[in-house]
Chain A
Amino acid sequence: GAVVSQHPSWVICKSGTSVKIECRSLDFQATTMFWYRQFPKQSLMLMATSNEGSKATYEQGVEKDKFLINHASLTLSTLTVTSAHPEDSSFYICSAREQGQINEKLFFGSGTQLSVL
């Protein structure tokens, strides 16, 4: 099956710093990628939809200036958590849909555990 690589797997940072998370589709091209946040013992909550070559679409309540998304190529989307604070500590997961497919099958990255001190 298709592989989505997410990096880093975990990151610890100081409050006020910015953190960048990368999501790559390794063996397919993805025009659409999705970013989720998952708090402990909770489900995945969609944060934003990342479209290659255009601005991301953010879900209600998600600050676009805080969670910067860039999808500059068909295989890479990045999420930057700017001026991170302890409440931003969470598990962030990306997923990707293969180019040309309007299907429901999303391939997920392995997630990034962010801890803000």
Chain B
Amino acid sequence: GQQLNQSPQSMFIQEGEDVSMNCTSSSIFNTWLWYKQDPGEGPVLLIALYKAGELTSNGRLTAQFGITRKDSFLNISASIPSDVGIYFCAGHRWTGANNLFFGTGTRLTVIP
């Protein structure tokens, strides 16, 4: 299946710093989603974006749906230790049975 390219692959940051990660695709998506996965757990939905150009916040998290509909970014402000985990973007379109495609993931480590 199609895979979305996510960068960076991993990040090591100091507590309190801001974080930015992005996701790109060669294809257009109708919806972009961002998930967080803790070790040994399933992904948890953080933010869903439905319109090109849309900017949405959820607490310290902000995500944007790219104008081209082929990319999205996620920002985390003032990081805290519990932000540690793997962040996945996912793109959704209405064609075909497999209509949710996951990014390659960004592994975030926050140093206290």
Contact = CB atoms under 8 A, between A and B. Distances in A.
Given A43-B102, A59-B1, A105 B41 contact: no
B100 interface: yes
B14 to A, nearest CB: 23
Which among B41, B42, B99, B100 has the highest number of chain A CB atoms within 10 Å?
Answer: B42
Contact of B102 (A9, A44, A110): A44
B33 A46 contact: no
Nearest to A51: B97
Contacts, number: 59
Contacts of B107: 41
Nearest to A113: B40
A106 B88 contact: no
Interface string B13-52: 0000000000000000011010100001111110010000
Contacts of A4: 42
Contact of B45 (A45, A105, A110): A105
Contacts of A43: 3, 88, 102-105
A40 to B, nearest CB: 11
Nearest to A91: B40
A104 B42 contact: no
B100 A104 contact: yes
A84 B61 CA distance: 41
A111 B40 CA distance: 7
A57 interface: yes
22 contacts: A41-B107, A42-B104, A43-B3, A43-B105, A44-B43, A45-B1, A45-B102, A46-B98, A46-B100, A49-B97, A59-B98, A94-B42, A95-B42, A104-B48, A104-B100, A106-B45, A107-B45, A108-B35, A108-B44, A109-B42, A110-B41, A113-B40
